[in-house]
Amino acid sequence: MVESLIGGGHVGFFRLKERLISKTVGKNNYSVPGNLPKCTTGIQGLDEITTGGLPQGRPTLVCGSAGCGKTLLGIEFLVRGATLFNEPGVFIAFEETAEELAQNVRSLGFDLEALIEKKKLAVDYIYVERSEIEETGEYDLEALFIRLGFAIDSIGAKRIVLDTLETLFAGLPSPAILRSELRRLFRWLKEKGVTAIITAERGSGSFTRHGLEEYVSDCVLLLDHRVDGQISTRRLRIVKYRGSSHGTNEFPFLIDEGGISVFPITSLQRQHEASSERISIGVPALDAMLGGEGVYRGSSVLLSGTAGVGKTSLACHAADACCRRGERCLYIAFEEPEAQLLRNMRSIGLNLEPWVKKGLLRFHAARPTMNGLEMHLASIHKLVEGLKPSLVIVDPITNFISSGTVSEASSMMMRLVDYLKARQITTLLTNLNRNEGALEHTELDISSTIDTWLLLRDMELNGERNRGLYILKSRGMSHSNQIREFLLTDRGILLTEVYLGPDGVLTGSARLAQEAKEMATAAQRNQEIERKRGELSRRQQALEAQIAVLQLQFQTDKEEMERDIATEQVYLEKLEQGRQEMAFSRKAESNGAPGSFKKVRK
Amino acid sequence: MKRKSTSNGDTTSVEVPKKWQLRLYVAGKTPKSITAFENLKRICEEHLAGEFEIEVIDLIDHPRLAKDDQIVAIPTLVRKLPKPIRKIIGDLSDTERTLVGLQLRSGLKIRE
């Protein structure tokens, strides 16, 4: 009851949607202004496509072939009315006794006996056996009216189901009387103000075998049960809804232990809140490529790639990161059973077992062909409602094709993504690409609903195959345009820069070889530089030595020359001295003669 | 109204189970129910003199009783005894068919 107020600030429709999907429906006070009053059925999804429910106080015809779920729809309408909206209901069974009916729906979790006990439900079994009856004149169905009236009044019923009224045609003679009486019946039901469901068998060429659609013209629902490729799908269509807008598509529905769930394909309004919170995808280098912070919470991430490129490993990293944050993760594995997955992840250093034990990580391993698509969707819904995860991984979505057609699988995935997005649950889908065909292509055409698309691809070169990863698109963030080499090591996933050389992108051992080659070249260069440096210093030393020698030479020369100069001077002095001595000895004029001698010398 | 009418009209006499027990379901005193009752009385007196017992049940007063005999149409005549149960709907204006319905036709033949 309290949970019905989820999103209290939203418009009625949104609230209704929340209410229905969580199945915690509250008061039946919802109405669309200006539209005719509606009776909320409480059947998951049906109120959504009828924009509020069945016409209040009027009869609705539910037709379909045998085994399509007419009776169940009627029963659930009453059970939901009684349990969720406190609207008692009457079930008029023409085909099964009350005991049989109670037994048949017990498997769906409906306890009719308890409801009857609480006077929330009345079941009246009307048995008409043609062979016991003789017609002898005019009659009317007043007794039927009295029985209905009595049943309605005894519990104050607001809802009634007549299943299947057409049995009367088989049991009673003179159809003419019957027809006029049925006309009277529908008028009478309207006067009573009860919301009625009248079920009828599908006729060939008409909706019902006896043309009941002529009388019940307010709302006609058509149920269908088709088997396509050995997989059955139930569908519901609103043929007519007077005075109300409604979905016109065929909506798949299913019957499981929780009753009927109708899945509107496109009705989920694209009005989800967009979180700006970013969450890690579990590989730091990849987070860095995604604008440094990872993906947005509540966004949809697609991992596509060919077989064996590491989609599952990457998905498990994301699961690990999610659990590390203390959030819950639902892992829907279509390829591997849980134990195998856990073992394989240990080999790359990822131990997910503690998360499983803590209840943060839940594996749901199922064979895709086990169920029809709708059943898958329903079981996912149920798991999500139960676990309330913040991350849902579907690995791989491609397998859905094997349980339906491509277009069905696409629409189902679209609905799944929408559904999860509306709950702010991050979705991680993996897609197996076949080797042929473009990589930027998913077999399920869901790329438009995907926010972040990571492409894992093989790069074959020099006789080996290596993995590359790049971001094809990522809405709302600046992301790396690089191709990274994607390595699965025993310590998890590593993203390394690929080698971009003159020969293109090199990965794996080609990259290693190239790197080694480059290293060798670099070493050579270094040696060369060292050698040149040595030579330079040697040359400098040689030059310096030469300079020293020259300087020494010069010194020697200089000393020698200075010695010569000194010798010359000594000689000159000696000469002068000798001449003076001579002059002195010859008593010659001491003034004139030495002066003329000097001139001569010069 | 729930009334019993026996062939001799004497309700004070000791009731012995009659061979024929008939029950007529009506809903109010509509012309159809009155016609049916009159037709029934006439047929019974003609063919089952002294051997029948008619119980008229008005469903307006006793809506619950409609369930027991699985009544949907009004008027409905139920042959409770002799077994098996037979139902005859309509105002019994077609005497021939009423007799067939009560399986009196063959019975009469035997008696004759």
Residues A430, A400: Cα–Cα separation, whole Å: 12
Model pTM above 0.90: no
Q: Read off the tokens for A559.
A: 């000393």
Spatial CA neighbour of A492 closest among A290, A284, A353, A279: A284
> Considering only CB atoms, which chain A residues are within 8 Å of B75?
139
> Which residues partner with A197 through β-bridges?
A60, A161
> Which residues partner with A226 through β-bridges?
A233
The answer to whether B80 contacts chain A (CB < 8 Å) is no
So where are chain A's domains? 2-262, 278-497, 512-592
Cβ atoms of residues A510 and A517 within 8 Å: no
Domain with residues B2-111, CATH architecture: 3-Layer(aba) Sandwich (3.40)
Q: C-alpha angle with apex A56: A51 to A57, nearest 5 degrees?
A: 160
Strands of the sheet containing A133-135, edge to edge, are: A133-135, B86-89, B76-81, B20-26, B52-58, B2-6
- pLDDT of res. A18: 41
Choose among B39, B63, B90: nearest Cβ to A147.
B63
Q: Please state which of the ranges A115-129, A237-251, A524-538 shows the lowest mean pLDDT.
A: A237-251
Q: Give the pLDDT confidence of A331-374 residue by residue, as tens digits.
A: 988 888 888 989 988 888 888 899 999 989 998 887 766 667 77
- Identical fold at A2-262 and A278-497? yes
Q: Please state which of the ranges A38-47, A195-204, A430-439, A504-513 shows the lowest mean pLDDT.
A: A430-439
Residues A161, A121: Cα–Cα separation, whole Å: 11
Mean pLDDT of A529-557: 94
Cβ atoms of residues A388 and A360 within 8 Å: no
- pLDDT of res. A591: 55
Cβ atoms of residues A63 and A222 within 8 Å: yes
N-term to C-term CA, chain A: 139
The answer to whether B75 contacts chain A (CB < 8 Å) is yes
Look at B88 and A124 and tell me if their CB atoms are within 8 Å: no
Cβ atoms of residues A3 and A20 within 8 Å: no
Residues A197, A596: Cα–Cα separation, whole Å: 163
Look at A172 and B72 and tell me if their CB atoms are within 8 Å: yes
- Interface confidence (ipTM) of the complex: 0.82
Helix (H, G, I), strand (E, B) or coil at A263: coil
Choose among B25, B36, B67: nearest Cβ to A124.
B67
The answer to whether B73 contacts chain A (CB < 8 Å) is yes
Look at A134 and B89 and tell me if their CB atoms are within 8 Å: yes
Look at B72 and A138 and tell me if their CB atoms are within 8 Å: no
DSSP annotation of A293 reads T
* Percent of chain A's residues with pLDDT above 90: 22
Q: Please count the residues of chain B.
A: 112
Mean pLDDT of A551-556: 94
Mean pLDDT of A567-582: 91
Look at B72 and A149 and tell me if their CB atoms are within 8 Å: no
Residues A374, A378: Cα–Cα separation, whole Å: 6
- pLDDT of res. A336: 84
> Considering only CB atoms, which chain B residues are within 8 Å of A144?
72-73
Helix, strand, coil tally for chain A in percent (to 5):
45, 25, 35
Mean pLDDT of A22-49: 64
The answer to whether B111 contacts chain A (CB < 8 Å) is no
Q: What is the CA radius of gyration of chain A?
A: 48
> Phi and psi (nearest 5°) for A261?
-130, 120
For all residues of chain A together, what is the average pLDDT?
81
- pLDDT of res. A281: 86
Residues A223, A202: Cα–Cα separation, whole Å: 9
> Which residues partner with A332 through β-bridges?
A364, A394
Alpha-carbon separation of residue A562 from A351, A544, A557, B51 (angstroms): 95, 26, 8, 183
> Phi and psi (nearest 5°) for B29?
-90, 70
- pLDDT of res. A449: 81
So where are chain B's domains? 2-111
- pLDDT of res. B81: 80
- pLDDT of res. A519: 87
* Percent of chain A's residues with pLDDT above 70: 85
Tell me which range, A32-46, A302-316, A431-445, A539-553, is most confidently predicted by mean pLDDT: A539-553
Burial of A416 (0-12, 13-18, 19+ CB in 10 A): buried
Q: Report the residue of chain B nearest A139, measured CA to CA.
A: B90
Mean pLDDT of A14-24: 41
Residue B111 identity (one-letter amino acid): R
Residues 6+ apart with CB under 8 A from A305: A311, A430, A431, A432, A433, A439, A455, A456, A457, A458
Q: Give the pLDDT confidence of A462-488 residue by residue, as tens digits.
A: 777 788 888 888 888 888 888 888 888
Q: Report the CATH fold assignment for A2-262.
A: Rossmann fold (3.40.50)
Look at A172 and B25 and tell me if their CB atoms are within 8 Å: no
Question: Given pLDDT bands bounded at 50, 70 and 90, which one contains residue B111?
Answer: very low
Question: Where do we find the tokens 């604008």?
Answer: A291
- pLDDT of res. A197: 92
> Considering only CB atoms, which chain A residues are within 8 Å of B30?
142
Q: Please count the residues of chain A.
A: 602
Would the pLDDT of A67 be above 60?
Answer: yes
Cβ atoms of residues A412 and A375 within 8 Å: no
Choose among B67, B87, B89: nearest Cβ to A147.
B67
Residues A523, B53: Cα–Cα separation, whole Å: 125
Residues A103, A112: Cα–Cα separation, whole Å: 9
3-state secondary structure A389-421: CCEEEEECHHHHHHHCCHHHHHHHHHHHHHHHH
Q: Give the pLDDT confidence of B8-57 residue by residue, as tens digits.
A: 444 444 455 668 888 999 988 888 889 889 988 888 888 887 788 888 99
Q: Read off the tokens for B20.
A: 């024929």
Interface test with B, best of A95, A123, A134, A140 (most B CBs within 10 A): A134
- pLDDT of res. A137: 83
Would the pLDDT of B60 be above 60?
Answer: yes
Q: Give the pLDDT confidence of A215-233 residue by residue, as tens digits.
A: 777 899 999 888 776 667 7
Look at B72 and A168 and tell me if their CB atoms are within 8 Å: yes
Strand locations in B20-93, DSSP E?
20-26, 52-58, 76-81, 86-89
Q: Report the CATH fold assignment for A278-497.
A: Rossmann fold (3.40.50)
Question: Where do we find the tokens 């036709």?
Answer: B105
